[in-house]
Structure 1
Amino acid sequence: MVTTALITALVILGALTIFQALLVFDRPLGEYVWGGKHKVLPEDLEFWSVVSIAAYVLFAILLWRRAHVLDNSYHPVIVISVWVFFALVVISIMLTAFSPSRKERVMMTPVCAVLAVATFIVATS
């Protein structure tokens, strides 16, 4: 079950990374993120998309480590970090669920919910 949850989380994080990269390269997908006010993101939101990409990569590594794929040792910093990531994903569920953008609510809320469940399973492993 942990392996399935890890793979699910990694696939979602990979897809979100690609999605954010498309936004950085001015693809007209902005209605699905950051409140949906812009089809093409302005530079300040592009910056936050780059920050998101870095965070997704970090979170993927942390989940990978927490699932004991890279090693079998116990690292309290990794355990705490994964729980912090879980909390951020739960917050993102609420933020996307109440977004003014219907497209963001419909697409991103379920994605965040699945990521939260997968993260919770890995966090409790």
Structure 2
Amino acid sequence: MNQLLAILACAVLAGLTIFQAALIAGAPLGKLAWGGQHRVLPAKLRTGSAISIAIYALFAYAALAKASLVPPMINGPLTAIAMWVITAYLLLGVVMNGISPSKPERLIMTPTTLALAVIYLVLAIR
């Protein structure tokens, strides 16, 4: 079960990575991210998207480590702690996306982040 959840988390994170890369490249998808204030992201928010991609990679590694698909993060307890921290971060993301002034961001990113939060919560518990 953990392996399936980890792979599902990685698939969602891969989709988000492609989305953030498109934002960095100047795709007019800004209404779906960063509060939806810009159709095309300015340089500072593109930097934020690049940082998001790095964070997604860490999240993916943590899920894969929890499912024993890759070596654990330094040691087993660190992986367990990381799963709870990531779950909390994602739950905060649900709230932030849910209160976004951008309706498209609320409609698309809130459920996406919620799905990830639930996956990480289940992985953290198991």
Same fold (TM over 0.5): yes
Whole-angstrom distance in 2 between the partners of 1:75 and 1:28: 41
Give the percent of matched residue pairs that are identical in Structure 1 and Structure 2. Answer: 38
* Aligned position for 1:108: 109
Cα offset for 1:72? 7.7
RMSD: 1.5
TM-score normalised by length of structure 1: 0.94
Letter aligned with residue 24 of structure 1: I
Whole-angstrom distance in 2 between the partners of 1:96 and 1:84: 18
Whole-angstrom distance in 1 between the partners of 2:91 and 2:47: 23
* Aligned position for 2:62: 62
* Aligned position for 1:3: 3
Equivalent position SS for 2:100: coil
Letter aligned with residue 49 of structure 1: S
Whole-angstrom distance in 2 between the partners of 1:17 and 1:72: 23
Q: What runs of 5+ residues in structure 2 fail to find an aligned partner?
A: none
Whole-angstrom distance in 1 between the partners of 2:107 and 2:72: 38
Equivalent position SS for 1:27: coil
Q: What runs of 5+ residues in structure 1 fail to find an aligned partner?
A: none
Whole-angstrom distance in 2 between the partners of 1:119 and 1:39: 31
